[in-house]
């Protein structure tokens, strides 16, 4: 019995030492970065990340936090790099927002005009209501306008548009079937003309 207990105790001791050292390493660095290097956006993924090429620029836009809520500040970060020179865009960028609706009032509301800090444009926006919105970032370079539209959902996503489209298609098909059947009932079947017997 003593011979069996000795290797088991040795294995348990090794496991305890192994896991104890792991927790020390986890406490100092997260994802390979020291904890003092974190900012408010370092530990959470963006709600939206868009990387797009527009004209002569590569534009990257991020929206934080990962799950935006009504009544909570959201942060938009944008940076644009010229494709040929790889220089950051340094002119002003205008931010606006509008409701993402098919019908009704989708008038844009200006959020602000920002200049870059360390090559990054930052805009804070407070959404008062849950819903679907489109954030527009626009700038002008070399006499050409550049516009990036970002669809963003605040709060729980709503699927009314998809549901309404599906119901509309189904109702449309049912109406067309009903009309075709009604027309078929109204037109009498034509009987062949009588033939004369010789």
pLDDT in tens, 69-117: 888 888 889 999 999 999 999 999 999 988 877 666 767 788 889 999 9
pLDDT (tens digit per residue) in 115-137: 999 889 999 888 888 888 888 99
Instruction: Look up the pTM and report it.
Output: 0.58
Token output for 186: 């109204």
Q: Distance between CA 176 and CA 193 in Å, rounded?
A: 33
* DSSP element (H, E) containing 166: helix 160-186
How many Cβ atoms from other residues are within 10 Å of residue 55's Cβ? 13
């Amino acid at each position: 019995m003593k011979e069996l207990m000795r290797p088991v105790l040795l294995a348990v001791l090794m496991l305890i030492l192994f896991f104890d050292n792991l927790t020390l390493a986890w406490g100092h660095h997260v994802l390979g970065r020291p904890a003092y290097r974190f900012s408010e956006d370092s530990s959470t993924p963006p709600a939206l990340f868009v990387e797009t090429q527009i004209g002569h620029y590569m534009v990257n836009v991020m929206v934080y936090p990962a799950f935006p809520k009504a009544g909570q500040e959201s942060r938009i970060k944008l940076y644009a790099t010229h494709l040929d020179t790889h220089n950051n865009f340094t002119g002003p960028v205008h931010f606006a927002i509008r409701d993402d609706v098919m019908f009704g009032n989708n008038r844009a509301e200006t959020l602000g005009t920002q200049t870059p800090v360390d090559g990054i444009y930052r805009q804070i926006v407070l959404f008062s209501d849950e819903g679907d919105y489109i954030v527009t970032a626009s700038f002008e370079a070399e006499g050409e306008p550049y516009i990036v539209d970002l669809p963003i959902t605040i709060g729980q996503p709503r699927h009314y548009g998809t549901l309404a489209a599906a119901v509309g298609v189904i109702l449309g098909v049912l109406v067309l079937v009903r009309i075709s059947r009604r027309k078929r009932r109204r037109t009498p079947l034509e009987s062949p003309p009588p033939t004369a017997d010789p």
